[in-house]
Structure 1
């Protein structure tokens, strides 16, 4: 496993990180989830991602229980705040009230004294950015959070946040969590160059385009029953990627992977990690066996000719 700095911070994270959306605390049996997390740690993954809204806190409980087996200083744990955790008007968003209350609730579910990386899970237009940043800064000063990040924020929103942080001497954002893959390259236009200037690293999710880039889907109707993609939310996200055009691209990309002596999954992850602005790619392994293949993508290099062929296929 190779490690990279998280943005311009001194924190080193594994190139491959393990997520828990729709997986742990959900359709994957608890012990299998714990076994997968343990195998990830043994394979060199030190970066684990979850959120309070994943299964309304159940994912945090599973991840926290699994990581108790290891020295706290050896793991980097990320969780998030923003999603609805109740029916009340203040049970969601990025207000000071919700952030402070949910941080304490997440720490309790995780069974830990601090969170390494705390994300604003999405942008909250109803709360001033300064209020959000002040609350996050207070958590850092209290020792409950070490670093702060954002997820699904635009380049303009992150720029404003950094300028406010500098103006009021608040803790700076060091991580951004957007979707990024061979089939979704939006961040290359504004987010990557902006974050490079601001010192923000990308921790990308869906690097396998909801599994489409694994090569396991042979048709647009090929969704295994009982899988996380068989859920309503999983199906919605999968439909964005599972198209006839993308399946044709995967067939061509598979040829490049074979010639490079990589699996399709490893090619997709190595391609994402070719970007120096990407600190880590989050995978969603549901079993130790699936994890084994993914972690081997760390450190793999694609040649200039291979990258040119991939670009030609994507065009």
Structure 2
């Protein structure tokens, strides 16, 4: 894998990123360290985490993932210099009052969150610090439509940028990014950064998979023209595109017992648990099999080869899963398969949007 630049920054990352939200919930600390070791050995230099992880969020596991990664750095001197480390500041409370109360996300909130992450990660600097979800009310996490009546924004974007700029000036953060954003949000952050001489966003971390290609409905042009990179999360649609739920669903007798959608009812209530997501996922999975591919190979190759994607974030629970996902790198989908993928989307759109 050749390294690529994120946006207009000088961060050089691999086009595969290790996501860590399962560390501390589904994955123990020793198993997490084994996955981190393996990712580094396989050439992956990009690690993504967040202050609110592990997922699903619980007060008992708040900050656990960053702590596990920090312990890995401490146990392996020199490793920190070999990786590009990304983390995220949580937006206003989304059923996570132990992270932040109230509707806003003030400059003080951002500063305090970053300093907490630095302590847990046992590092002096976070290479890419991202706003996990907008302070504004936006269509995200399964909400499809923007509604002005639901707007509760109380922290202006300039205040958020000023806080991030302070962290950059103090050397605690190198570059900034966004997540779960909209075209308006990206344009406004870039416009204000350029106008006010504040840090410019390097990347946006949004969902992108066969089950959710909403990025291609305006975000791709916006970010291409602004020079902002996409970090694609949930490329396997929470496992729906791996084929493991095809026969047993998420709750039946044949459902995979150790899988996220089987274990956690809260996740089944989200976009990935929709009946439509499961049904359309099965269509894509059968298309893969009909063309001599595993569902995982087709779903990841789709993300790995799209011009819109700078780096694909892999969420795994075992070293074996990590190897399987990395091994897909280099797989090319034929024009016929890509046409068939588009045909399915034309009929079913984005069920996990």
TM-score, normalised relative to structure 2: 0.82
CA distance in 2, matches of 1:272, 1:11: 21
Out of 58, 63, 68, the residue aligned to residue 57 of structure 1 is 63
Change (3 A) 1:301 1:109: same
State the secondary structure of the residue aligned to 1:17: strand
CA distance in 2, matches of 1:28, 1:251: 30
**Aligned counterpart, 2:260:** 228
Q: Which residue of 1 aligns with 2:114?
A: 103
Gaps of 5+ in 1: none
Pairs aligned (count)? 310
CA distance 1:248–1:266, change in 2 (3 Å): closer
1:71 and 2:79 are equivalent in the alignment: yes
Shift in Å at residue 10 of structure 1? Answer: 2.5
**Which stretch of structure 1 is more off in the superposition, 58-67 or 203-212?**
58-67
Write out the 4+ residue segments of structure 1 that deviate beyond 4 Å after TM superposition: 83-93
- In the alignment, the residues of structure 1 paired with residue 20 and residue 269 of structure 2 have an alpha-carbon distance, to the nearest angstrom, of 18
2:28 aligns to what? 29
Instruction: Provide the secondary structure at the position in 1 that maps to 2:51.
Output: coil
**Distance between the aligned counterparts of 2:9 and 2:174, measured in 1?**
11
The alpha-carbon distance between structure 1 residues 116 and 8, as it changes in their structure 2 partners (threshold 3 A), is same
Give the unaligned 5+ runs of structure 2. 54-60, 136-152, 347-353
Could you tell me the TM-score, scaled by structure 1's length? 0.92
The offset of 1:61, in angstroms, is 0.6
The reply to whether residue 158 of structure 1 matches residue 186 of structure 2 is yes
Contact 2:241 2:284 (C-alpha < 8 Å) held by counterparts: no
CA RMSD of aligned residues (A): 2.0
How far, CA to CA, are the matches of 2:286 and 2:333 in structure 1?
18
Decide which moves more: 189-198 or 240-249.
240-249
Distance 2:294 2:193 in 1: 43
Cα distance, 1:276 vs. partner? 2.1
In structure 2, relative to structure 1, the CA distance for the partners of 1:8 and 1:266 (3 Å cut) is: farther
* Cα offset, 1:86, TM superposition: 4.9
CA change 1:15–1:87 in 2 (3 A) is closer
